[in-house]
Amino acid sequence: MKFLCVACDEAMKFVDTGATTPGDVLAAVFRCPRCGTRTALLANPWETQLVRSLGVSLGGRAAPHEPLELMRERLVEARLLWTEEAERRLERVPEFVRPMVRDSVERHARERGCREVTCEVMDEVRSNMGM
Amino acid sequence: MKTYHEIAGDGGSDIAGQVAAREARLRARMGSIAHSLAIVSGKGGVGKSAVTANLAVALAMLGHRVGVLDADLNGPCMARMLGVQGETLQLGANGVEPALGPVGVKLASMDLLLPHTAAPVQWRAPAPGHSHAWHGAIETAALGEFLADTAWAELDFLLVDLAPGPERLAGLHGILPRCDGLIAVTIPSQVAQLTVQRSITLARRLNARLLGVVENMSTYLCPHCGAVQRLFPAETEFQRAVLGVPVLASIPFDPQLARCCDQGVPMVLAHQAAPAARAFMELAEQVGARCSAREECP
């Protein structure tokens, strides 16, 4: 999708994604580099979801690609991924308490908005528990 | 007024670049896989996933390095069949590490990403009531992620177990840089073969290489008298001619197969002397030979 300033016959440039509107629908603001006119694209919920389903970001990617990022972001329920190091550390916990530790670490990670469980997250949980 | 094609770029999003980067990641990942094979069926219930699980283990028993992508996102069962249900995918330096099943078979499956066995695959969406508008797109993107982001490493075979239905093949064909072969699984009923014909026709139109058909539940062994009986009317030869593709293997029905799937121990490993297990080994040999033959073609 491209935006053209008809008066200037000039391609408009992406500025920002605007304010997120209720319902989390997509918005994008474009500006004509010649006359400065701004125009906003306001997508309906279907269009929003279609763009998100394609796994692309309006305005370009803000961060490098993460493994399985689309699924981890868009699934209603998904496990947090653990790094191999964190998983190895969990294996050192006695087996009978391991599920409980896994749950509490994941709960903490979700509360902190972490995208994965790392050794640092485990350290935080341990220090919170005064260990 | 300028036209679409007269304007370079898209104003700053570089959507084309984002898509190209994703395709490049997928190509790079697939570069270490010698043969990627899609397993398809016309309809559900013909035993496609059981065939895939046993074929994967049989290929591994022949010394091949094998991976399985459970591409049935909404009804994943491969983790159960390969005995790794409950395991988690881990983040490694080179992507997501697949689960390790019997004989080192690697597995990526939605099952390993969902928090519990009763969790459905449900997507966050501002328009959940109109999922028809985007559902296909997100499932195709999810498949692409599994293929590109799983640290498969060097594989001789990657088996992609597709959900039933010809349209799944078209979706896969759209994202896979190359599909080296297609195996269609069916049972000797006219209804099943009618539906698998559609997959075969589509495969031909997509110029996909059909390795052949696996005829599952072809016969069964009477547990009382030992006689080999047919489960379906004996029109198989005619039906094979209609399908017009080679039959790679005929797998006899065996109740042990279902039990093995439930227990997560592939039959080809657990009951190696059983006729069905031997048929799976023959299937693996056929698949290996046909893929090798292609390598030797100039």
Q: Which residues of B touch A45 (CB under 8 A)?
A: 125-127, 130
B102: in domain = yes
Q: Which of B14, B113, B144 sits opposite A79 (nearest CB)?
A: B113
Mutate to test the interface with A, among B13, B14, B114 (most CBs of A within 10 A): B13
Contacts of B178 (CB under 8 A, 6+ apart): B30, B36
The whole model's pTM is what? 0.90
Query: What integer pLDDT is reported at residue B6 of this predicted model?
Result: 94
List alpha helices for chain B, DSSP H: 15-30, 48-61, 78-81, 135-149, 166-175, 190-205, 236-243, 255-263, 267-270, 275-296
Task: Tell me, yes or no, if B142 comes closer than 8 A to chain A by beta carbon.
Answer: yes
Residue of chain B nearest A106, judged by CA positions: B115
Q: Report ipTM (2 d.p.).
A: 0.85
Distance in Å, alpha carbon of B25 to nearest chain A alpha carbon: 10
Q: Which domains does chain A have, with CATH numbers?
A: 4-62 (no CATH), 81-128 (1.10.8.550)
Q: What is the pLDDT of residue B238?
A: 46
Share of chain B above pLDDT 70, in %: 95
Q: What is the largest CA-CA distance in chain A?
A: 71
What's the number of domains chain B is made of?
1
- The pLDDT-based confidence of B53 (bands split at 50, 70, 90) is very high
Q: Is the pLDDT of residue A9 over 60?
A: yes
The H or E element that residue A72 is part of is: helix A69-74
Q: What crossing angle do the helices spanning A45-53 and B135-149 adopt, rounded to 10°? A: 20
Higher pLDDT, A128 or B287: B287
- Which residue's entry shows tokens 């350290």? A123
Q: Which of residues 50-89 of B touch A (CB under 8 A)?
A: 88-89
Print the domain residue range for B176: 21-122+135-296
Q: What is the CATH number of the domain that holds B208?
A: 3.40.50.300
Inter-chain touch B126–A3, beta carbons under 8 Å: no
pLDDT of residue B26: 94
A23 contacts in chain B (CB < 8 Å): 126
> CB distance B18–A56 less than 8 Å?
yes
Provide the shortest C-alpha distance from residue A28 to chain B (in Å): 10
Test B90 with A82 for CB contact under 8 angstroms: yes
Report the residue of chain A nearest B137, measured CA to CA: A53
CA atoms within 13 A on the CB side of B186: 30
**pLDDT of B158 higher than 90:** yes
Q: Which of A83-87, A112-116, B13-17, B124-128 has the lowest mean pLDDT?
A: B124-128
Q: Where are the strands (E) in B60-180, listed by range? A: 66-71, 90-92, 95-97, 99-100, 106-109, 155-162
How much is the mean pLDDT over chain B?
A: 89
| pLDDT of B31 above 50 | yes
Q: pLDDT (tens digit, 9 = 90+) per residue, B249-267?
A: 999 999 899 999 999 999 9
Torsion angle (degrees, nearest 10) of CA A103, A108, A112, A116: -40
B293: left (phi over 0), alpha (psi -120 to 50) or beta: alpha
* B97 CB within 8 Å of a chain A CB: yes
In this structure, is residue B264 part of a structural domain?
yes
Q: Which two three-digit tokens encode residue A117?
A: 């469980």
Which pLDDT tens digit goes with each residue over A13-49?
Answer: 999 887 655 557 888 899 999 999 999 998 888 888 8
Residues of B in contact with A58 (CB under 8 A): 13, 15
Q: What is the pLDDT of residues B102-151, one digit of tens each?
A: 999 999 999 999 988 889 999 888 776 777 778 888 899 999 999 999 99
Q: Which of A65-74, A76-85, B103-112 has the highest mean pLDDT?
A: B103-112
Q: DSSP letters along B210-244, please?
A: EEEEEEEEEEEE-TTT--EEESS-S-HHHHHHHHT
List the 50-69 stretch of A: residues with Cβ below 8 A of B. Answer: 50, 52-61, 65, 67-69
- What's CA B159's distance to the chain center, in Å? 5
Count Cβ atoms below 10 Å from residue B7 Cβ, excluding itself: 15
* DSSP annotation of B95: E
Find residues 81-110 of chain A whose CB sits inside 8 Å of chain B.
81-84, 87
Residue B240 has a pLDDT of 61
Name the minimum distance, in Å, from the CA of B121 to any CA of chain A. Answer: 7
Q: Is residue B265 part of a domain?
A: yes
